[in-house]
Amino acid sequence: MNISQQRAAARPRARGTERSVARRAELIAIGRKLFADTSYDALSMDDIARQAHVAKGLIYYYFQSKRGYYLAIIQDSVADLVTFAASGLELPQVDRVHRTIDSYLRYAEHHQAAYRTIVSGGVGFDTEVHAIRDGVREAIIATIAEGAYGRTDIAPLARTGLLAWLCSVEGAALDWIDRPVLSRETLCELLVKTLGGTLRAIEELDPAYRAPAPARRDA
């Protein structure tokens, strides 16, 4: 799956008339504000309806349940993350990596409750939240691979190396939003440098995946 397909998958196409699609999008936008820093369990459907100034039945009509509504909100917000992270093809390689990581950290910072849900996999073993998380991971890995190697269809060793780095990013971001001692800029720079180390390690184990010049110590 290429990056364009991943972006499309991250935001499922709504069905219905133009008016109903617009109404659904409006409810999602309201929900994104309500759940930006509030956990799933902290708001009841009555709370949501009251703060959104809509009838509770309208939310059930479009999303069937509170969980369905929350999943739609998460899918919509991470679609923005994937789109932004994968953009900037015209930028120099180092700038694009900075942009990708910075946009990821901005998402974690401004959507803390949703980010925790995605990274932790939801309440218990939530396969739909896991699918959203895995989709974001694949999109970010594809973006990094395309920038580093010029392609997204990489060998298992390279993919595992990038996945290990991305999992460390998730852990660092979780710790950072709980204890924001470092500035976003400093954390971003740290993660960029650890990516360089990952790319060099991948090259050492598989010379076919040569680390790009900005990541090389001899550059």
Domains of the chain by residue range: 3-215
Residue 9: pLDDT over 60? no
Rg (CA), the chain: 19
Work out the average pLDDT over 131-158: 92
Coil, helix or strand at residue 94: helix
Instruction: Give the residue-averaged pLDDT of 9-13.
Output: 52
CATH class of 3-215: mainly alpha
Residue 73 CA to residue 45 CA, distance in Å, equals: 14
Q: Could you tell me which residue, 187 or 97, shows the higher pLDDT?
A: 187
pLDDT at residue 152 is higher than 60: yes
Digit-coded pLDDT (tens) for 89-112 = 677 878 888 888 998 999 899 888
Distance CA 117, CA 155 (A): 30
**More reliable by pLDDT, 20 or 56:** 56
Q: In percent, how much of the chain has pLDDT > 90?
A: 47
> How many residues would you count in the chain?
219
Distance CA 87, CA 75 (A): 18
User: 219, 213 in Cβ contact below 8 A?
Assistant: yes
Within 86-183, where are the H helices?
Answer: 93-110, 112-120, 127-149, 156-178
